[in-house]
Every structure is written in structure tokens, then in C-alpha cells.
Amino acid sequence: MNIQFYKYQGAGNDFILIDNREGIVSQLSKDAVAKLCDRRFGIGGDGLMLLENLPGYNFKMVYYNADGNEGSMCGNGGRCIVAFAKHLGIIHDVTNFLATDGPHYAKISEEGNWVSLQMIDVADISKDGEAYVLNTGSPHYVKQAADLAIKDVYNEGYAIRNNATYKADGINVNFVEKDGEGYFVRTFERGVENETYACGTGVTAVALAMARHNGQFGTISTPIKVLGGNLNIRFDNDGEKFSNIFLEGPAELVFEGEIAV
Ligand SMILES: N[C@H](CCC[C@H](N)C(=O)O)C(=O)O
């Protein structure tokens, strides 16, 4: 069977999107998703999403990592599926959709290529040595680093993601370095099992962890540079929890086509 797909990217984190409102895709096997996401044997992508109907919401986001496993929340994927919903005419400037970690509110620019996505509130941040560990919809490990541009993110990220603490459930590993008013971040992603060009829940985790680290309270805006572009995170920190967290950045349709599944 041939299905129509759309390829999106947000700061270089790229995704395959399928309009599944009519239920054309009933069951995607792990192998089928992995093949579609393969950059040589398929379309290529860090993940694949189905946009589905759900009463009470504009749509439901179903997210798979590139290895074919159903993933947890994906921030850049969330921004891309909002742009996709606008492209399909399902929404205009605001939306309320359901993802695996709960409801998400988002705002999209008139041109449809800039998305501000609300993320779940975060109260718990723990430490693993010097690193911070927190869940922003997906689990993240945040570690400060020097000379990040030349760091071996693959091997160091791989070693942390596969150590005794994290091997079973996996974790996304973010390295962060101060950069002007904000930060530069590189991420080894669980489920892709490689470094990606950007990770939305990851830069969100970094912004919160750095606010905790630096004892910053109130309303905070943190620009973050990643390999694939620039993102911004806005949030409130009252000392008890982080709320009104928004991940902001570009989301663009790259191409569309048909593929056999
Ligand atoms: N790229 C994603 C993260 C995907 C989460 C996935 N790697 C997992 O831990 O299941 C983002 O922009 O937030």
C-alpha cells in the first residue's frame, strides 16, 4: 500500500509526518517505522509521527523514534506537527492537542513556520554527580562541558546512555556550554541512538537545569544554539516548580511524497 508522507524539520531535528485522520495506517510495525526513518533505505528522519483525530482536541500526536519504538514526548516533533496541522487546515493560529505526556497548547505564526509550544510543568530535578537529571516529557541528562564544538558527543553520550543506571530505560544526553546570553547544546538522543541536530525536550531540560544551577527565579527566557539552528525557551521559576514553559523555534515542510509501506 502507498501512503502519502510529509517531511518536516525543526532546527534540523527531522520527522516524517502522516495524516492518519482516516486511519489509513492501522498498525506500523517497529521494522516499518525504522525503515521509513532510515536515511538510505527509506525517507530518513529522527522520528515519525501520526496525526490522528481525538474528540476534545484538535488532534492527537503519536510519536515513534527512528529505531521504531514508540517514544516519549518530542518537543521539536510537537512543533512540527503543529505546523503540519496548520498546513492541513485543521488549525489556524492556536491549538490544543494531546501527546503522550498530556495536553499541549501551542501558537503558530501566520506564515506557519514559527511555533511556540507549551511543555509540561517540571518540579523534580535530581543530580547524578555534577549532572542534572529531569523529565520534560522525555528523560534527560544535562552535563556542562568545555570546548563543546569539538567534543566527542557520540562516544561520551553513548557511554552515559548505556551505563548501568540508564541502560534499561535509556536517557537523552545533553552537553551544554555557555554561549553569549544563552547556551550551546549538543544532544545524544535515545531512540535515534546518535547525536541529532536539535532536541526540543533536551534544550528545555537544559534551560531549566541551568536556571536551577544558577539560582535564577521569576520569568526567564533562554536562547539556545544547537547544530541545526536556534531555539528559545521561556518559563517561570517560583523555586518550587517550573511552569508556563514554552519551546519556541522554526518548523518547516521540506518535501512530500508517496512511499510503499
Ligand atoms: N527529539 C525529541 C526528543 C525525542 C525523545 C526521544 N529521543 C525519547 O527519549 O523517546 C525532542 O525534540 O524533544
CA-closest residue to ligand 1 atom 1: 199
What is the number of other CB atoms lying within 10 angstroms of the CB of residue 256? 12
* 12 class by beta-carbon count within 10 Å (0-12 exposed, 13-18 middle, 19+ buried): middle
Cα 37 → chain centroid: 16
Domain ranges of the chain: 2-119+251-260, 125-244
Q: Do domains 2-119+251-260 and 125-244 have the same CATH topology?
A: yes
In CATH, the number for domain 125-244 is 3.10.310.10
> Considering only CA atoms, which of 21, 19, 11 is closest in space to residue 46?
11
Beta carbons of 71 and 63 less than 8 angstroms apart: yes
- Which of these is catalytic: 37, 173, 192, 199? 199
The yes-or-no verdict on residue 27 having pLDDT over 90 is no
Question: Does position 146 have pLDDT exceeding 90, yes or no?
Answer: yes
For 56, the grid coordinates are 476534545
User: What band does 74 get if pLDDT is binned at 50, 70 and 90?
Assistant: very high
Taking the domain 2-119+251-260, which CATH number applies? 3.10.310.10
pLDDT-derived band at 261, boundaries 50, 70, 90:
confident
Which residue of 201, 203, 227, 247 sits with most ligand 1 atoms within 8 Å of its CB, as the best mutation to test the pocket? 201
List b or e across 199-214, with b for residues whose CB sees 16 or more CB atoms inside 10 angstroms.
Answer: bbbbbbbbbbbbbbee
Count of CB atoms within 10 A of residue 58's CB?
17
Residue 102, CA atoms < 13 Å, CB-side half-sphere:
8
Q: Ligand 1: distance of its center to the CA of 130 in Å?
A: 23
Nearest-angstrom CA–CA distance, 184 and 220: 17
Nearest CA to ligand 1 atom 3: 74
d(CA 62, CA 160): 27
Q: Average the pLDDT over 183-190 and give the result.
A: 98
pLDDT in tens, 127-139: 999 999 999 999 9
Residues with CB under 6 A from ligand 1: 13, 46, 65, 71-72, 74-77, 138, 172, 189-191, 199-202
CA–CA distance, 124 with 50 (Å, rounded to integer): 30
Q: Is the pLDDT of residue 257 over 90?
A: yes
Question: What does the alpha-carbon distance between residue 203 and residue 25 come to, in Å, rounded to a whole number?
Answer: 32
Task: Report yes or no on whether pTM surpasses 0.95.
Answer: yes
206-250 pLDDT, tens digit per residue, is: 999 999 999 999 999 999 999 999 999 999 999 999 999 999 999
Q: Which of 69, 66, 63, 67 is nearest to 81 (CA)?
A: 63
Counting ligand 1 atoms within 8 A of each CB, the residue from 138, 141, 158, 171 with the most, and so the one to mutate, is 138
User: Would the ipTM clear 0.90, i.e. be above it?
Assistant: yes
Q: Residue 112: what are its φ and ψ, rounded to 5°?
A: 85, 15
Hey, is 41 helix, strand or coil?
Answer: coil
The confidence band for 1, taking pLDDT boundaries of 50, 70 and 90, is confident
Can you tell me whether residue 224 is helix, strand or coil? Answer: strand
Q: Does residue 148 contact residue 177 with C-beta atoms inside 8 Å?
A: yes
